[in-house]
Amino acid sequence: MSRWLAYHGDSIYLDELIYQPEHSLIQQSVESNKKRTIRVNGDGFGLGWYSHRALPGYYHDILPAWGDENLRSLAHHISSHRFMAHIRHSTGSQVSRVNCHPFVLDNWMFLHNGHIGGFDQVKFTLVRQLTEELFLKRVGTTDSELIFLMMIKNGLRVDPIAAINQTLYEIEQAMEDKSITEPLTTSLCISDGEQFWVVRYSSDHQPPPVFLQRSSNKTIIASEPLDYSDSWQKIPRQTITHIVNNHCTQYDLIID
């Protein structure tokens, strides 16, 4: 499982969330969990942040995050009011920069934990559903980037809730056509620079957890709480959470 976080609020230096918390993303990159054998999140990492420039900035690299001196320096010097960070645990695709999250397209940013069950059996079908324009934007080989491009195709720019539902539906359909029993699992975070949409969905109703911490001047969304306080709410499964300014609305996912 990959690990990620997203932030919106007063402008802060990125290391305030990535390095400093008790249970920071960097700490998570090197930890094992309670299961006996677990791959760590050492298959690359990425940052994406909104700034005063028209389009968001990003930094992707293939080294484990824990040892990257550049990441330490950049996170210490880049400040942002809205950013995402992701440490990757590959579910099969190559370890390369183009496969690192968050994916950025124009003003949109997207990150993902989980995977499409039996991806190799539906990849051909799903990629072919992309328009030519979106097909050409695909630079990597992950299911994650493909989910992002499918959402754009399905109208993410116009009606995000519908586009997310439609995309998960199309993936489930393609999987059903191939009688795939391994589930589609997703925790997703999407932003257009102004809003967040957070998705927690799995075919088997066991999606990866996502936690939310809110206060008057900031919102933090993360795959695991960044500290051991009780200020973290778990986002309900099978929902889309829409966060704009400090306002938060939850929608049930209706896939079938």
Contact present, 112 and 101 (Cβ < 8 Å): yes
**CB-nearer residue toward a copy of itself: 224 or 253:** 224
- Per-residue binding string, a copy of itself, 40-69, x by CB under 8 A, is x-xx-----x-x-x---xxxxxxxx-xxxx
Kindly identify the residues of this chain, within the stretch 213-242, that bind a copy of itself according to CB under 8 A.
Answer: none
Residue 82 as a binder of a copy of itself (CB under 8 A): the answer is: no
**CB-nearer residue toward a copy of itself: 92 or 236:** 92
- DSSP code per residue over 151-165: HHHTTTTT-HHHHHH
DSSP-derived 3-state class of residue 12: strand
Residue 13 as a binder of a copy of itself (CB under 8 A): the answer is: yes
Please state the closest distance from residue 90 (CB atom) to a copy of itself, in A.
6
DSSP-derived 3-state class of residue 55: coil
Residue 105 as a binder of a copy of itself (CB under 8 A): the answer is: no
Strands (E), 88-194: 103-105, 108-115, 185-191
Q: In whole angstroms, how far apart are CA 55 and each of 37, 51, 64, 78, 137?
A: 40, 8, 26, 15, 16
Structure tokens at 176: 């059903």
**CB-nearer residue toward a copy of itself: 36 or 205:** 36
Note the residues at the interface with a copy of itself (CB under 8 A).
13, 30-40, 42-43, 49, 51, 53, 57-64, 66-70, 73-74, 76-78, 90, 94-98, 120, 123-124, 127-128, 132, 135-136, 139, 141
